Amino acid sequence: AYSSRGNRRALRARRIPHDIPEKDDQKANRTRKGSRGGRPPTFRPQRYRQRNTIERLMNRRKQFRAVATRYDKLACRYRATVQIADILIWLRAKPDRPKP
């Protein structure tokens, strides 16, 4: 469902750039239809790999209960909660200490 036509259409309507790999069964169906199947969607593997970094950051943020459940009702308070979580994530990374 992640790479469905409906999802791609919704992202395009909102002008959100996307790099979603096409599943093998979807490729087979498109090629089976021939010219009626349409052209293949654009896919840039390098950009798709960079998505992993963002997903890992979001998973780290979700370890903080207030961020994952969104207790704050106001957007400015929620944004502040996310910033505090980011600071704690950054401090835990200990960038100023040399690796053993």
Q: Which two tokens stand for residue 86?
A: 């980011």
Q: Which domain holds residue 29?
A: 1-43
Q: Is the pLDDT of residue 2 over 90?
A: no
Cα distances from 74 to residues 31, 66, 77, 87, 90, in angstroms, run: 49, 13, 5, 20, 25
CB 3 within 8 A of CB 23: yes
Domain for residue 88, yes or no?
yes
Domain for residue 48, yes or no?
no
Domain for residue 63, yes or no?
yes
Instruction: Tell me, yes or no, if the pTM score tops 0.95.
Output: no
Q: Are residues 1 and 34 in the same domain?
A: yes
CB atoms within 10 A of CB 2: 8
d(CA 58, CA 86): 10
Specify the pLDDT at position 96. 67
Q: What is the pLDDT of residues 59-87, one digit of tens each?
A: 999 999 988 888 888 999 999 999 999 99
Domain for residue 4, yes or no?
yes
Q: Are residues 37 and 69 in the same domain?
A: no
Q: What is the pLDDT of residues 13-71, one digit of tens each?
A: 999 888 888 888 888 888 888 888 777 788 888 888 888 888 888 899 999 998 888 88
